[in-house]
Structure 1
Amino acid sequence: MNATVQAAALTQPVDIDTMRHSISRLINPDRQPPTDDTLAILHSLLRGHLQLLIPEVEHAALERDAEDVPRYVALACTDQARTTLRTQFRPGTRGALVHARRLARRLAALCEHYEALTGVVMCLACDQPLHDDEETLPYDHVSPSGPAVRVGRIHARCTQTYRRH
């Protein structure tokens, strides 16, 4: 990535919602795999999202204290994302799909790190940011198959929203 693109990335707001939508098009178990044309578009889109988000996460991480564990974890994640971007995938639709899903998982992890490092708090029901002036409610979702718990907050308007985790 050149210096102009990096500088632009650091000054533009990050659209996590759009990135998460792109991710869901590839790793949502309820969706059919995309067609070849759509897969090529999604693959390029995910690469672009990663190229924009990597410097943002690095910038946010480097503002943290040198001994801060989330800083190191986020920086390790950016390194993994760069490695995945450089990795060549096997020819054919299957190889492209596997690589695109890998990109999507890396992007999902970077979205989480970005939110954690920048203090952005997202509604667990609709994936939209929670703002101080909005009414919110506590939310905890216990997994029926085990101890996994997703604790956070949701918009008051999202109380009837059902979401698979």
Structure 2
Amino acid sequence: MKQRTAPASAEQDPPDIETMRATAHRALALAAPSTAMDVTLLISQLRGHVELMVTEVEPLAASHASTLPGALADACLGEARRKLDAGGEIRPLASARLAYGRRLARVLVALCDHHRNLGGTA
């Protein structure tokens, strides 16, 4: 029998926005990756951060749905989901994967900004 995990409590730790921003800025600053593994690891980190921020920003955007900041955050959430869905379509070339990582980094920074602007912690 499969064991269920407990639902997330309202008292869970806030997302580490500083680390997420640092990861995004590292991706945006890369001129060229040193190895394909570095790009793969960076994309994995960015995808995880974006997935987390989507779950963090979603309720904030919904609670501000009738405001301009809420509508902008909702549009950013759609863009983040499209970027996550596009991950399987990336060509194996290092330059294409790095470009995808940069797109993830930009949407991650935007989600962090929306989180702050809509009253999220940090």
Give 1 or 2 for the bigger CA radius of gyration. 1
How many residues are matched? 114
Query: Deviations for 1:63-112, whole angstroms, at most 9, x for unmatched residues?
Result: 22x42011010011011000000112122101111101100011011011
- TM, length-normalised to structure 2: 0.83
Query: Structure 1 residue 10: deviation in Å?
Result: 8.7
Identity percentage over the alignment?
Answer: 39
Query: Structure 1 residue 39: deviation in Å?
Result: 1.0
* Structure holding more helix per residue: 2
The match for 1:79 is 78
| Structure 2: distance between partners of 1:9 and 1:41 | 30
The match for 2:24 is 23
* Structure holding more strand per residue: 1
Letter in 1 for 2:43: H
| Structure 1: distance between partners of 2:71 and 2:61 | 8
| Gapped regions of structure 1 (runs ≥ 5) | 121-128, 130-165
Classify 1:80/1:14 alpha carbon distance in 2 versus 1 (closer, same or farther; 3 Å).
Answer: same
Cα RMSD after superposing both structures: 2.2
Query: Structure 1 residue 11: deviation in Å?
Result: 3.4
| Structure 1: distance between partners of 2:11 and 2:74 | 16
Letter in 2 for 1:14: P
| Structure 2: distance between partners of 1:72 and 1:79 | 11
- TM, length-normalised to structure 1: 0.62
| Gapped regions of structure 2 (runs ≥ 5) | none
| Structure 2: distance between partners of 1:40 and 1:104 | 14
The match for 2:46 is 46
CA contact (8 A) 1:53 1:110 kept: yes
